[in-house]
Structure 1
Amino acid sequence: MNNNPYVQDILSQPDALRAALQGYPVQLLSSIVQAVRAGKFDRILITGMGASLNGSYPAVLRLSALPLPILWVETGELAHFSASQITPKTLLWVVSQSGRSAEIVRLLEICRENRPAAMLAVTNETDSPLATAADFLLPLNAGAESTVSTRTYLNTLAVMGLAATQMLDEPIGPALDAFYAAADAAESYLGRLDEHRQIISGLAKNLQNLLLVGRGGSLAAVFNGALVLKEAAKFPAEGMSAAQFRHGPFELVDEQFYAGVFGGDEPARSLNLNLARDILHHGGHAVWIDTQPEPDLPAWLIPPSQPLTRPVLEILPVQVLSIVLAELRGYEPGQFRHLGKVVLQE
């Protein structure tokens, strides 16, 4: 099974992440950072679809410390319903692994008539329509990807994280070091892939559905994990914030209910832990996804990391789960049935 293209993409993520770090153009954003300081933008609007949008979320949270509005809008909604948010003083930050999906192309058409102050692109395809149209380009350097987003997702987390660090006028060196350490930690984790598959299989054989929940930067793994399970394993999974789960969906909890709860960082960790225990108390099942186990919860452990790089490692057990579930359900992991790598139809 390790010869499967999707599994190979998963195993190659640490090297791809290092390539993104080595190729990150540190000097590129200097003029944008200066423009932010000088108040030349009235907002930063970050947009994308699927894994690209999910991978941008931790950076969105960090950028909220800036003294201007940070908007995070799915490109399909932006292009059709809220294009008026693109003003002549907007920094439009477009994240798209292919740079040529249907919604991105439509957005580029809109921007020909409704130009932002600057367009910053994050993409893996440096000859794509997005890359050509952008004023500034941050390449993902993930290499060719065969199936469901893996390397490009991790590299999006890293490139967006580094760019946010620069926007916040924080030193880039420690951030680069942290992501290199995360690449090493991911390599160590994936080096024991068979061990993790065995651990995760113990729960997976009972699953009929799964809800992933978390808070803060962990929502990147929550949203993208649910996407990966649907896409790579054809498995009905959803993701939402732990806070939203308290507001109604908690009524789903019964003996057939399963949740993956991401620990995250304090102060949210204690809230998430209480939620996992409440699910157990009401007869449901919860698996704890964190760096540290809890004595009353089954756990899928990830390597320790800094808050900046935790999202890189949080997705790994869900990727392993997608392999296990695909096999249990009789599917080739990561193989598309109805879609291609790039979505070209709205």
Structure 2
Amino acid sequence: MCGIIARVGADDGVDRLLGGLERLEYRGYDSAGIAVENGAGLAVQKCSGQVNELKESVHDSQIYGGIGIGHTRWSTHGPPTDDNAHPHTDSTGEVAVVHNGVIDNHTELREELEAEGYEFTSDTDTEVIPHLFERHLEDHPPEAAFREAVRDLDGSYAIAAMVEGVDAVFAARRGSPLVLGVSDDEYFLASDVPAFLEHTDEVVYFEDDEVGVIQPDEVELSTLDGQSIERSSEIVSWDPEETGKGGYDHFMRKEIENQHVSLANSIQGRVGDREPDLDEFPPGSFEDIDSVQIVACGTSFHAAKYGAQLLNKAGVPAQTFRASEYDDSVPVDDGTLAIAVTQSGETADTLAALDRASAAGARTTAVTNVVGSTVAREADDALFIRAGPEIGVAATKTFSSQVVTLSVLAHRISADVAGTAPWDDPAAFYDALERLPDHVESVLDTEVAADVADDYLGSDAFFFIGRGLAYPVAIEGALKFKEITYEHAEGFAAGELKHGPLALVTPQTPVFTVVTGDEDDSTVINAEEAQTRGAPIVAVSTDDHAITDVADAHLPIPETHPDLAGLLANVQLQLLSYHTADRLGRAIDKPRNLAKSVTVE
């Protein structure tokens, strides 16, 4: 949640701050603001609404400065108002702070500070930070005062702060992402690399309980207790052009159409002679594993279900858990492999689940998109999906890359644990896997999803059903639809329709039926049960599938391996969601109330 940007340099950096906020707007867009040191004090400009509204007010005010901080907010405490927008300042206007995370003890701190005469002007938990900083400045120089303020905080935070007359940005992190960008003549600080990627690809990642002092000519990194830290920078391999729309109307459309590229990247070098070839996990890597637990949230959870089903097919006991429900009641021991699946690598619930598993003795592995992310650093091992930056809030290309990566990983695990593969004929699976990017392109070329979207626009509700590996695709399709269209959509295991959901079926409830070659006859029967009650069936299947004889509409997919057909069906459902949302005039890249990286529990 929320996006932080800071820039430290000699020349005016306001446009760089605003540009960084635009690239971080997927993290939060309830309000935005910046603060800059212009030699005559701190100039603060902020407002509710989106970054383009902030840009207008900043340009009208003509503020400038070489050192500044910025923020785009996803509301946790207090509604999206001008007063609740960041940066927040102290009583004198000499301290400005931006913050991502949740301060757990903000109520106690606020009561304490108000009793001492400090006046609050917002509803946010963040505002305690500048007042704490202000209080400690009475007895300490700025850096020491900042450390004292941070020590007072409980909870999660990434913080960037400024003090009037001090040519520096002070930063600290615990539980929320923070990364430093290093260039020849300027430094950046951000929640996520895309914020400054067009200016530099050299980065240094903050760890928990670390403090940074970023000045125009140097950066000092240390522990909260003041012990100096030496850390080498890394080079981010992402192309800066990947963070732009590239002529598309929406990032989501670009990222849907980019899936053949991201999938090719996910597969490249990971398939040997029709078997997994993972540098991170050579044969025998998982010989000591008895069972697998996969923890994830949202779209990543649906990808996790795909991976767990493949493991179970191969005889490896595997379970999926929503990370927020993964608690001490789950049996874990040193024979457990806990796999954390998270696109950003910063999902708070998933990180907390990983910590629980590790504390209970499990071996941990991260499947993530972001090199240098918290989950990649904290897990025992990491496997990257290589999907490239994804800016649209609704995950698209990362889901397909997660599924492919988990499929190959599942084969490696099952070969080590059970001496078998998830498929009777692994060569057939890998042959189809190599053709998958081309098959995705062929789905994109059909573009029938727009017509189907038009046909069912205005329906009362939208149901998505599937069985076996089609079930995760069905619930992912429903999630995508509700995320960006705001229409009611639900995904069900096909066999569960008759155990309750049929009560909701009407002629205004289209049932999108995903059939992939896994117990399809039963799925067709379930769809027909809805159809006899008036619901139209939309088949997501190959052209020659029997369901097309009874379906009211059809979203076609190419012939492929049954365990990959769901990914092609998923592309059609993504397009369906996109076109429906577009017809309804929704904010496709920035759906209401949602953010890309969920860094609070």
TM-score over 0.5 (shorter chain): yes
1:260 alignment partner, one of 497, 509, 512: 512
- Aligned residue pairs: how many? 336
Kept in 1: contact 2:514–2:566 (CA 8 A): no
1:94-105 counterparts in 2 under 5 A? 94-105=340-351
**Counterpart residue number, 1:322:** 577
1:125 alignment partner, one of 352, 370, 376: 370
Q: Name which structure has the greater RCO, CA cutoff 8 Å, separation 6+.
A: 1
1:299 alignment partner, one of 539, 544, 554: 554
1:42, 1:9 → 2: CA distance?
37
1:225, 1:152 → 2: CA distance?
14
1:178, 1:66 → 2: CA distance?
19
Q: How far does residue 246 in structure 1 lie from its aligned partner after superposition?
A: 1.6
Residue by residue over 1:101-128, the C-alpha shift from the partner in whole angstroms, topping out at 9 and shown as x without a partner, is 1102222433453231x21210001211
**Counterpart residue number, 1:179:** 433
Residue by residue over 1:155-197, the C-alpha shift from the partner in whole angstroms, topping out at 9 and shown as x without a partner, is 011001111122333497654432221110101221343xx24
Q: Which amino acid aligns with 1:137?
A: A
Structure 1: segments with no counterpart, 5+ residues: none
* TM score, norm. by length of structure 2: 0.53
Kept in 2: contact 1:162–1:175 (CA 8 A): no
1:51-70 counterparts in 2 under 5 A? 51-70=299-318
2:477 alignment partner, one of 214, 217, 225: 225
- Compare the two structures and name the one with the higher helix fraction: 1
Kept in 1: contact 2:316–2:414 (CA 8 A): no
- Segment of structure 1 superposing worse, 211-220 or 61-70: 61-70
What is the percent sequence identity of the aligned residues?
A: 23
Cα 1:256/1:3, change in 2 over 3 Å: closer
Structure 2: segments with no counterpart, 5+ residues: 1-246, 271-276, 416-420
1:42, 1:192 → 2: CA distance?
44
- Segment of structure 1 superposing worse, 9-18 or 328-337: 328-337
- SS of the residue 1:336 aligns to: coil
Q: Which amino acid aligns with 2:391?
A: S
Q: Which amino acid aligns with 1:181?
A: R
Q: Which amino acid aligns with 2:525?
A: N
**Counterpart residue number, 1:344:** 599
1:1-346 counterparts in 2 under 5 A? 2-22=248-268, 24=270, 26-30=278-282, 33-35=285-287, 40-78=288-326, 80=327, 82=329, 84-111=330-357, 113-116=359-362, 118-147=363-392, 148-169=394-415, 170=421, 175-193=429-447, 196-266=448-518, 268-292=519-543, 294-297=548-551, 298-346=553-601
- SS of the residue 2:517 aligns to: coil
2:600, 2:398 → 1: CA distance?
21
**Counterpart residue number, 2:84:** none
Residue by residue over 1:19-75, the C-alpha shift from the partner in whole angstroms, topping out at 9 and shown as x without a partner, is 11115462432355551xxxx333211111111110122221121144552121111
Q: How far does residue 202 in structure 1 lie from its aligned partner after superposition?
A: 3.8
1:6, 1:150 → 2: CA distance?
7
Q: Which amino acid aligns with 2:374?
A: P
- Segment of structure 1 superposing worse, 226-235 or 175-184: 175-184
1:66, 1:279 → 2: CA distance?
33
1:32, 1:75 → 2: CA distance?
28
Q: How far does residue 136 in structure 1 lie from its aligned partner after superposition?
A: 2.0
Moved over 6 A (4+): none
Q: How far does residue 198 in structure 1 lie from its aligned partner after superposition?
A: 3.6
Kept in 2: contact 1:6–1:335 (CA 8 A): no
Q: Which amino acid aligns with 1:189?
A: V
Q: How far does residue 296 in structure 1 lie from its aligned partner after superposition?
A: 2.6
Q: Which amino acid aligns with 2:574?
A: Q
Residue by residue over 1:186-237, the C-alpha shift from the partner in whole angstroms, topping out at 9 and shown as x without a partner, is 01221343xx244323423242210101100001211111111111222211
2:314, 2:530 → 1: CA distance?
37
1:178, 1:22 → 2: CA distance?
14
* TM score, norm. by length of structure 1: 0.90
Cα 1:249/1:81, change in 2 over 3 Å: farther
Cα 1:75/1:192, change in 2 over 3 Å: same
- Compare the two structures and name the one with the higher strand fraction: 2
2:368, 2:256 → 1: CA distance?
19
Kept in 2: contact 1:260–1:286 (CA 8 A): yes
Residue by residue over 1:1-26, the C-alpha shift from the partner in whole angstroms, topping out at 9 and shown as x without a partner, is 94311101111011010011115462
Kept in 2: contact 1:21–1:176 (CA 8 A): no
